[in-house]
Amino acid sequence: MQNSSFFDSIHYFMVTRTGGEIFLIFLALSLPLLFFIFREFNRFRHARELRKRKQVIHDTMQTAQLQNETFEIQLGEKDARTAYSALLNKIGEDELEFLTFSHISKVWEGNEASIFFCIRDKKQRIFYKFVAVLWSIDPHQQASLLRVKTPKGLEIGQKRAFFRIAPLPNTIRVLALWALLPTAPLPRTTNEIGPPLISCTMRRKTDRPDDFSLNVEDISGSGIGLRVRTSLEDERIVKDGQILCLVVYNEAIHGEERLVNFVCTGRITNIREDAEKTGNRILGIEFTNWALLEKGNPAINWFHQTKATGIGPILQWVTKMDIESRKNTPTQ
């Protein structure tokens, strides 16, 4: 009886309302429901897009790992950046683990890094970049394990022109460093160069980088990092100073030795202390001119180096070493 009275009341209320009033009542009752449906739909769509984006990032990283691609990890400020080459070691649910080709100090833990890499797709290379915080570093003498959070997005088209790599053991034979006056002309022959500020000759396979007062920290097609003892004092070895450098290196990765006498001039772009090797500092140098010396010929035929093109012989050598490093095959 009460139910009948309730429905009769509703019926009476509805038949005594105008069409406009009924529409407003329906609208007032429907709005909360529509808002709930719209909110849940957007939440579902957003979650689906996140899952799709996460899958795309995972697949891209997995492709780079399967293709054994090299990642370049840049650390430091804009004017004093240091680049490290690494392989993607593991892909976790929410983290990536990288194995670097050289030692990285634990002091970088918690710092932000710019990470560059590329993948091959239908004979083309697609370049990516992302920024991540190094939340864990497990340093070793010749390599390090870095862990970062999986990025939520990848930028396309951010390409590093040239990656840096530490030379393979026993590939450098001779190193020499000179300071140049900015206004001085380039030497036309080796007889005009004079004695170096510092030089080293590496003859034995047991020689280690720390055994020398001058060594190559890393090298790329556009520049070189030289590790020198802090006892080297010269007022010209400063940021933006000009240097001349001789690098005699073994071009052959396997088989018979093929030595290349490479000489270059460059601008010191940055100087930093080497925290892990007391008594050393790293000179970051950008190539400006270069030449290959011929045995028995004192003439120097200089080529100007543009930042965009890189130096052909060095690019080939660095690429060979990079491939060899990724194969983890020792130099013969």
Q: What is the pLDDT of residues 131-187, one digit of tens each?
A: 999 989 988 777 789 999 988 888 876 555 566 788 888 899 999 999 998 888 999
Distances (CA, A) of 45 to 53, 55, 154, 271: 12, 15, 20, 50
Q: Which of 158, 156, 152 is nearest to 72 (CA)?
A: 158
Q: 153 vs 8, which has greater pLDDT?
A: 153
pLDDT at site 259: 92
Task: Judge if 122 and 197 occupy the same domain.
Answer: no
2: enclosing H helix or E strand: helix 2-15
38: enclosing H helix or E strand: helix 19-66
CA separation for the pair 145, 252 (Å, rounded)? 29
Within-domain flag for 260: yes
> pTM for this one?
0.55
Q: What is the CATH number of the domain that holds 40?
A: 2.30.110.10
Q: List pLDDT tens digits, range 93-136.
A: 889 999 887 788 888 898 899 888 888 776 567 888 899 999 89
pLDDT at site 147: 93
CA separation for the pair 63, 127 (Å, rounded)? 13
Task: Judge if 63 and 154 occupy the same domain.
Answer: yes
pLDDT at site 330: 38
Task: Judge if 125 and 197 occupy the same domain.
Answer: no
309 pLDDT higher than 80: no
> C-alpha angle 58/95/274, rounded to 5°?
120
Within-domain flag for 332: no
Can you say whether the dihedral through the CA atoms of 64, 67, 68, 69 is positive or negative?
Answer: negative
CA separation for the pair 137, 131 (Å, rounded)? 16
Task: Judge if 209 and 85 occupy the same domain.
Answer: no
Cβ pair 159, 125 in contact under 8 A: no
Q: Which two tokens stand for residue 29?
A: 């009752």
Q: Which of 108, 133, 160 delimits the end of a domain?
A: 160
Within-domain flag for 165: no
Mean pLDDT, the chain, whole residue set: 80
Task: Judge if 63 and 202 occupy the same domain.
Answer: no
Number of domains in the chain: 2
Strand partners, 100: 86
329 pLDDT higher than 90: no
pLDDT at site 239: 86
Task: Judge if 151 and 202 occupy the same domain.
Answer: no
Q: Which of 160, 189, 222 delimits the end of a domain?
A: 160
Q: Which of 292, 279, 269, 164 is nearest to 216 (CA)?
A: 164
Within-domain flag for 305: yes
Within-domain flag for 167: no
22 pLDDT higher than 80: no
Task: Judge if 193 and 138 occupy the same domain.
Answer: no
279 C-beta neighbours (distance < 10 Å), count: 12
Within-domain flag for 44: yes
Within-domain flag for 312: yes
CA separation for the pair 91, 66 (Å, rounded)? 11
* Mean pLDDT of the region 262-285: 81
Q: List pLDDT tens digits, range 277-308.
A: 556 888 889 999 999 999 889 999 999 876 65
Within-domain flag for 293: yes
3-state secondary structure (DSSP) of residue 108: helix
pLDDT at site 327: 61
Q: What is the CATH number of the domain that holds 253?
A: 2.30.110
Task: Judge if 154 and 177 occupy the same domain.
Answer: no
Task: Judge if 211 and 300 occupy the same domain.
Answer: yes
Distances (CA, A) of 193 to 140, 178, 188, 263, 278: 40, 8, 9, 11, 31
> C-alpha angle 154/155/156, rounded to 5°?
115
Q: Which of 76, 222, 226 is nearest to 162 (CA)?
A: 222
Task: Judge if 91 and 196 occupy the same domain.
Answer: no
Q: Which of 139, 160, 181 delimits the end of a domain?
A: 160
pLDDT at site 332: 36
Task: Judge if 190 and 309 occupy the same domain.
Answer: yes
* Mean pLDDT of the region 194-217: 75
Q: 113 vs 272, which has greater pLDDT?
A: 113
Task: Judge if 147 and 205 occupy the same domain.
Answer: no
Q: 197 vs 233, which has greater pLDDT?
A: 197
3-state secondary structure (DSSP) of residue 7: helix
The two most distant CA atoms of the chain are separated, in Å, by: 119
CA separation for the pair 218, 325 (Å, rounded)? 13
Q: List pLDDT tens digits, range 53-103.
A: 888 888 999 998 888 777 888 887 765 667 777 889 899 888 999 988 778
Q: Which domain holds residue 315?
A: 172-327
